Amino acid sequence: MPPRELVVLGTPSQLPTRTRNHNGYLLRWDGEAVLFDPGEGTQRQMTLAGVSPSTITAVCVTHAHGDHCLGLPGVLQRLSLENVKRPIPVVFPAEAAGYIDRLRHASAYVNHLEGARGPCAPLAEPCTWTTSAGLVADSGSRS
């Protein structure tokens, strides 16, 4: 059985300190690696924790406060830089859709996922669906 582990990358804090980063959690469960609430500095915290970003299989943003989502652009761009070609679902509350879309396109970068299913692949139309819990999943794929 694959290891089950919660890697705490940061704990709740609107202001990071020398000893505490913004939110960020990586849950390893049965071969999956779900990144929760990638706050600012998540990439650095992953490096310090020995976690490879290319192992991420999904991202979940619980709400659109900055300490829970401002690390998302860097994480998605890092996945593209590492040439990850599999789909990386990004799950978030429906009311955060506009914020998440802006975060996904926050800066210019070379998209190595062109034509592939992935978080940064260009979309002909939004590929989202609302679950009964009011969450939106964006698979990064074309319909």
* Domain segments of the chain as ranges: 5-138
Q: Give the pLDDT score at 118.
A: 34
Structure tokens at 120: 């940064």
Catalytic residue flag (residue 37): no
Residue with the larger pLDDT of the pair 119 and 136: 136
Q: Give the pLDDT score at 137.
A: 55
CATH of segment(s) 5-138: 3.60.15.10
Residue with the larger pLDDT of the pair 104 and 52: 52
The closest of 77, 73, 82, 75 to 100, measured between CA atoms, is: 73
Catalytic residue among 30, 37, 67, 138: 67
How many Å apart are CA 56 and CA 135, to the nearest integer?
A: 20
What are 78-94's pLDDT values in tens digits?
988 888 877 788 888 88
- Residue 126's CB: how many other CB atoms inside 10 A? 11
